Structure 1
Amino acid sequence: MKSMTGYGSTKINVECGEITIEIKAVNYRFLDSQIKLPYELMAIEDKIHKQIKEHVLRGKIDISVHVEERTSKKRVLTINEQLLDQYVSAANMINEKFSQEMKLEVSALLMDTAIAQVEEISNVNWQEEERLILKGISEALSSFNKMREEEGAYLQQDMMDWLHKLQQCCDEIETLIPSLVDRYREKLEQRIRAVLDAELEMDETRLLTEIAIFTEKMDIREELVRLRSHCKQYTKYMDVKDEAIGRRLDFLVQEMNREVNTIGSKAPDSSIRQHVVEMKGYLEKLKEQVQNVE
């Protein structure tokens, strides 16, 4: 089991300098990866996305690659001549239309980033460094996954504790079921005697019919069986490797909650209802934790 949150980083030395790679992830329903690369490395973005898919199944992933070059960069001024010509034509048209001479300020034009841009151009041939950079990405992803697995182990242990308490409640509820019928029979007999004269005999057949109807209505054994089955499936899925299990576990928590609600609505006993309240609390804890599972 892996957590969706994690962090990984690595540094690699290349001929031109040092490259720092950082990976961060938070919870997300699907896989969403954002990659921040220097302009010189944009060509390898697709390859990095493929690497991510090999290591991560769900989560919002942010990868940043920072390059600290030892070599100096050239600063190059580029002019958008087409746009500059349009400025000149516009100035000539205005001068002709208003019969006046308007001079274009060269300094103002150079301040316009749409016309003049200064770019830093690296002297490094990054294609030669591509293999090392992709290897560094792979190392950072391995570090990232190791942290997620460690966090996943803590999540799994915590969820196992809540599942165990949930199953304990099931066992305790089951021990209460046989006494419910006996207690209902006693209450029913007392009510009947309260409204009948002492000399009249109680209709045993009618009494047994009422008890049978009550027993059918409050029978929660099927819900307990399904609840235990869901707990067993939950435990099984937590051991699945190389597969996104978070959504399956979330679905099982919803199903378990449905069974617990049914038990609460059918059971007339205050002791059982108390267990239902406890189980809802355990399921809420499971629901919180399952949101962190890949």
Structure 2
Amino acid sequence: MKSMTGYGSAIVKCGNGEVTIEVKAVNHRFLELQVKVPHALLFMEDKIRKQVKDIAQRGKIDIVIHVEEAASTKRVLTLDEQLLDQYKEAADVIKDKIGSDSPLDLSSILLDRHIVQVEEVSSGNWNEEEESIQQGVIEALLSFNSMRVAEGQYLHQDMKNWLQKLLECCKDIELLAPKLVDRYREKVEGRIKDYIDGDSEIDDVRILTEVAILTEKMDISEELVRMRAHVDQYKHYMNQDDAIGRRLDFLLQEMNREVNTIGSKAADSSIRQHVVEMKGFLEKLKEQVQNVE
């Protein structure tokens, strides 16, 4: 089990300068990957994406690579002449429509990043440093993944504790459930006595029939069996290395459904108290599942 949150970094020193690699991630339903690399390293972006996808399946992950070059860089201005022509044509149309003789504002055009762009061009050959930088990416990802594993171990232990509390509640409810039959019988006898002459003899068959009907309606044994099965399956997934967060979330929904059914069937204050506790434990598990990959 791994957490979706984590951080890792690495620094690579090479002939062309120093490269800093940072990897950080937060929770997300799916894998959302953003890679920010300088222009000189754009040729590596696809490989970096593949490296991340090899170790992560969920989470919002940001990779930022910063370069401090040993040699100086130069800036090159590029002009989108086709877009500038369209601006001029639009200005001419506006002039004809409203009769304005105002010329195009040259300073505004120069500040428009869609028309004029300034790029830094590296003077070094970064293709020769690709292997060293790839090793740095691996180092940062290993650090990142190590943090996710450590956090996952904490989540594993915390979830294990809440699951144990759920099982203890199930056990307590099982001990209380048989006593409900006796209470139902007493209630039925009391109600029948209210409707017949106190000297008349109570029909045991009728009482047993009424009790059988009530106990069948309020039988929670199947729900308890399914709860235990869900807990076992939850523990099974917790010990896997794959992305299990969505599976655990689904199981929690099923467990919550069983608990609600137990609460609605068992008309007993003691059992309902356990149901309230179980809902609290499930809520704790749900909070932690949001962090699991």
| Worse-superposed segment, 35-44 or 116-125 | 116-125
Does the 8 Å CA contact 2:27/2:291 hold for their aligned counterparts?
yes
Instruction: Provide the secondary structure at the position in 2 that maps to 1:259.
Output: helix
Instruction: Provide the secondary structure at the position in 2 that maps to 1:200.
Output: coil
Query: 1:260 maps to what in 2?
Result: 259
Counterpart check, 1:131 vs 2:131: yes
Instruction: Provide the secondary structure at the position in 1 that maps to 2:177.
Output: helix
Query: 2:269 maps to what in 1?
Result: 270
Count of residues in Structure 1 that have an aligned counterpart in Structure 2:
283
Separation in structure 1 between the aligned mates of residue 108 and residue 187 of structure 2, nearest angstrom? 97
**In the superposition, relative to structure 1, how do residues 237 and 76 fare at CA in structure 2: closer, same or farther (>3 Å)?**
closer
Query: 1:140 maps to what in 2?
Result: 140
Query: 1:196 maps to what in 2?
Result: 196
Query: 2:230 maps to what in 1?
Result: 230
The letter of the residue matching 1:290 is V
In the superposition, the TM-score normalised over structure 1's length comes to 0.88
**In the superposition, relative to structure 1, how do residues 21 and 258 fare at CA in structure 2: closer, same or farther (>3 Å)?**
same
Give CA deviations for 1:179-215 in whole Å, capped at 9, x if unaligned: 1101111121122223321221111111110011011
The letter of the residue matching 1:283 is L
| Worse-superposed segment, 189-198 or 128-137 | 189-198
Query: 1:94 maps to what in 2?
Result: none
Query: 1:4 maps to what in 2?
Result: 4
| Aligned-residue offset at 1:120 | 2.9
Structure (1 or 2) with the larger CA radius of gyration: 1
| Aligned-residue offset at 1:32 | 1.2
**In the superposition, relative to structure 1, how do residues 124 and 276 fare at CA in structure 2: closer, same or farther (>3 Å)?**
same
**In the superposition, relative to structure 1, how do residues 82 and 254 fare at CA in structure 2: closer, same or farther (>3 Å)?**
closer
The letter of the residue matching 2:204 is E
Query: 1:248 maps to what in 2?
Result: 247
Separation in structure 2 between the aligned mates of residue 196 and residue 87 of structure 1, nearest angstrom? 98
Separation in structure 1 between the aligned mates of residue 277 and residue 115 of structure 2, nearest angstrom? 70
The letter of the residue matching 1:260 is V
The letter of the residue matching 1:56 is A
The letter of the residue matching 1:259 is E
**In the superposition, relative to structure 1, how do residues 199 and 132 fare at CA in structure 2: closer, same or farther (>3 Å)?**
same
Instruction: Provide the secondary structure at the position in 1 that maps to 2:2.
Output: coil
| Aligned-residue offset at 1:105 | 10
In the superposition, the TM-score normalised over structure 2's length comes to 0.88
Does the 8 Å CA contact 2:2/2:153 hold for their aligned counterparts?
yes
Instruction: Provide the secondary structure at the position in 1 that maps to 2:123.
Output: coil
The letter of the residue matching 2:216 is E
The letter of the residue matching 1:191 is R
Does the 8 Å CA contact 2:110/2:116 hold for their aligned counterparts?
yes
Aligned sequence identity (%): 65
5+ residue gaps, structure 1, are 91-101
- RMSD across aligned positions (CA): 2.7
Aligned ranges 1:69-80 → 2 under 5 Å? 69-77=69-77
| Aligned-residue offset at 1:85 | 8.6
Instruction: Provide the secondary structure at the position in 2 that maps to 1:60.
Output: strand
Query: 2:96 maps to what in 1?
Result: none
Aligned ranges 1:14-163 → 2 under 5 Å? 14-77=14-77, 118-163=118-163
Give CA deviations for 1:104-163 in whole Å, capped at 9, x if unaligned: 999998777677655432111111111111111111110000000000111111111110
